[in-house]
Amino acid sequence: MREYVIRAKTGGEFDIPHPQWKDVYRPRSFSSEVIEGWGALRLLVAGFEVSFSPEPPGTCVYIESDNMNADMADQIVNEILSSAEQYTGVEGEVILTSEA
């Protein structure tokens, strides 16, 4: 599993209404679909489960897989960040918080 925080560079979460998460927090170059499970949003992205949870430092993004390479996971999260930036017009950042 790899865990990240995505947030606005000014600190905290992006101002995205929760009903819009399913449309905004999506990578552009990978197939994805909303699935059931824990978290505020859960996606199946290229065969891997990605869950989102709002937390005080920003939005935590968990990629649940033991066999996804780090470069692919980083690309997915960076594309999600880019989508949030485009939606809000606010520059953001990705922080890797854990890799197992």
Q: What is the pLDDT of residues 4-38, one digit of tens each?
A: 999 999 888 999 999 999 999 999 999 999 999 98
Distance CA 5, CA 93 (A): 8
Domain range summary for the chain, segments of one domain joined by +: 13-58+69-89
pLDDT at 99 over 90: no
Distance CA 59, CA 94 (A): 10
Burial 81-99 (b: 16+ CB within 10 A, else e): bebbbeeeeeebebeeeee
CB-CB contact of 32 with 45 (8 Å): yes
Does this model's pTM top 0.85? My answer is: yes
pLDDT at 66 over 80: no
